[in-house]
Amino acid sequence: MSDTKQFTPNLNLTVIPVDSTSVTFLSARDDVYGNKPTSNMQIIDAEVGRLKKRAVHLIAGESLITNQYTAISNNIPDLSTSFPIIFTPDGNNTGASTLTINALASKYIKKYDGLGVLVDLSADDLTKNNPIQMFYDATQEVFVLVASSIGSLPAASTEQSGIVMLTNALDSLSESKAPTAAALKGVAEDLQTAETAIEGKAPTNHASSATTHGAATDELYGHAKLYDDLGDNADGAITQDAASQAIADAKPVAGTGVSISGTKSNVVNIVPPADGKIGGVKAGNNISIGTDGTISAPNAPGSLPPSGAAGGDLTGSYPNPTIAAGKVSDTAIGSRTFDQSIASASSSSGTLTQLGSWIVKVLKAIIGSDNWHDTPA
């Protein structure tokens, strides 16, 4: 057996052959439990420290102040490296929260959103007495929430509802849902197959054609032909000549009592205005028309002098007509006149004494002076 030292395969610990005769006690002491960095004891202690930091730490926190949690753990000496934690809070959070372990620096508890960005916690992301899984990210110097409940993760390859969560218009998975990669791959393949089947292809059934002016014989797919001369442009464009022709051939839509075939007369019906109406409620300035058709002119004079040819008992023209022949008035009978008016109905002094002579004069005027005598028969 060789006296050469040997080393273990994992931690590179020093071992000495049992039959060695050259190794002294002092050298063996230094190799096994000496205080030098390469001794077995120092190597084992350092590895145990690393294992402790990489282990899952079970800690319970309390929050004397809302959203500010504290915890004690003898296995977490510092926050220099990343490590996983199962943390049980003593109350619900209401928003952004922090955790302080062993009186070390207080660190925020964050979570990843659908875009992979670390954001603050929302209300009730932490719930009372509900264990949560998170890890300390030494690079970001924050605790990162992984799952809000250790027992809520669904088993893979089982039917689940609500697997896909839409966040900011992107399909993403929440931290509490875990569909299998095979299931996601199958969905993607199905979508790709469907897209390939329909992309750029027209259906083989429901064949249809369009008659003049675009009347379809069946359901239309793709680009319908609007008119015989329009063609079937892939971009759906219509030329100016074709558009003009389509407009020229356009026919009115049938309405009540109207047929769209043949030549029509009296198509436009103009209703005349009602009697006494001209346009709106005014026929001109200062002239108004009432709802009943009456016309008022508030600025017109109260009366106007007559004009034109006279009529009735008068002859001639206004403003100076004369009494027509054979007409009786209070001053004349026919062409005969009196020397005094008899229009007064008063019997005042002088009227009765003159009445006799008036009567005589009237009789003379009527009968004629040749046939009249003063002596009664």
Please give, one letter per residue, the 3-state secondary structure of 34-55.
CCCCCCHHHHHHHHHHHHHHHC
**Among the three residues 152, 179, 205, which one is the final residue of a domain in this structure?**
152
Cβ distance 14 to 7 under 8 Å? yes
- pLDDT tens for the chain, 377 residues long, are 455 677 777 887 888 777 777 777 788 888 887 888 888 888 888 888 777 766 777 888 888 899 999 999 877 878 877 888 889 999 999 999 999 999 899 999 999 988 889 999 999 999 999 998 888 998 999 999 986 544 444 555 556 565 555 444 344 455 555 566 676 777 778 777 776 766 655 555 555 555 554 555 555 545 444 444 455 555 555 555 555 555 555 555 555 555 556 666 666 667 766 665 555 555 455 667 777 767 777 666 667 778 888 877 788 888 888 777 767 666 666 566 666 555 555 555 455 556 667 676 776 666 665 555 555 54
> What integer pLDDT is reported at residue 151 of this predicted model?
42
Give residue 74's pLDDT.
79
Same domain flag for 33 and 63? no
Tokens found for residue 297? 């002119």
**Residue 319 burial (CB count, 10 A):** 9
The CA-based dihedral angle spanning residues 34, 35, 39, 41, taken in that order and rounded to the nearest 10 degrees: 90
Decide if 239 is inside a domain.
no
Bond prior to 319 in cis (omega within 30° of 0): yes
Q: In the chain, how many domains are there?
A: 3
101 and 35 both lie in a single domain: no
The SS3 call for residue 71 is strand
* Residues 61, 144 within the same domain: yes
DSSP assignment, residue 213? G
Determine the pLDDT at residue 309.
87
Residue 68 located in a structural domain: yes
Residue 318: inside a domain, yes or no? yes
49: nearest Cα among 16, 78, 86: 78
Same domain, 111 and 23: no
Residue 59 and residue 20 share a domain: no
Same domain, 112 and 97: yes
In a domain, 316, yes or no: yes
Which residue range is the domain that position 354 belongs to?
309-342+349-371
pLDDT at residue number 352: 54
- Residue 227, domain member (yes or no): no
Single out the residue in 99, 120, 152 at which a domain terminates: 152
Q: Let me know if residue 182 belongs to a domain.
A: no
- Beta carbons of 294 and 276 less than 8 angstroms apart: yes
Q: Tell me how far apart the alpha carbons of residues 101 and 78 are, in angstroms, rounded to a whole number.
A: 9
Nearest to 244 by CA among 231, 229, 234: 229
Looking at 199-258, list the stretches that DSSP marks H as alpha helix, in order from N- to C-terminal side: 240-248
Is residue 25 in some structural domain? yes
Domain boundary among 122, 152, 182: 152
Residues 60 and 90 in one domain: yes
| Alpha helices (H) along 264-368 | 351-367
In a domain, 335, yes or no: yes
100 and 30 in a single domain? The answer is no
pLDDT score for 301: 67
Q: Clarify whether residues 61 and 118 are in a common domain.
A: yes
Residue 66 sits in the same domain as residue 13: no
- For residues 61 and 71, the answer to whether their CB atoms sit within 8 Å is yes
Are 41 and 82 within one domain?
A: no
Q: Are residues 11 and 33 in the same domain?
A: yes
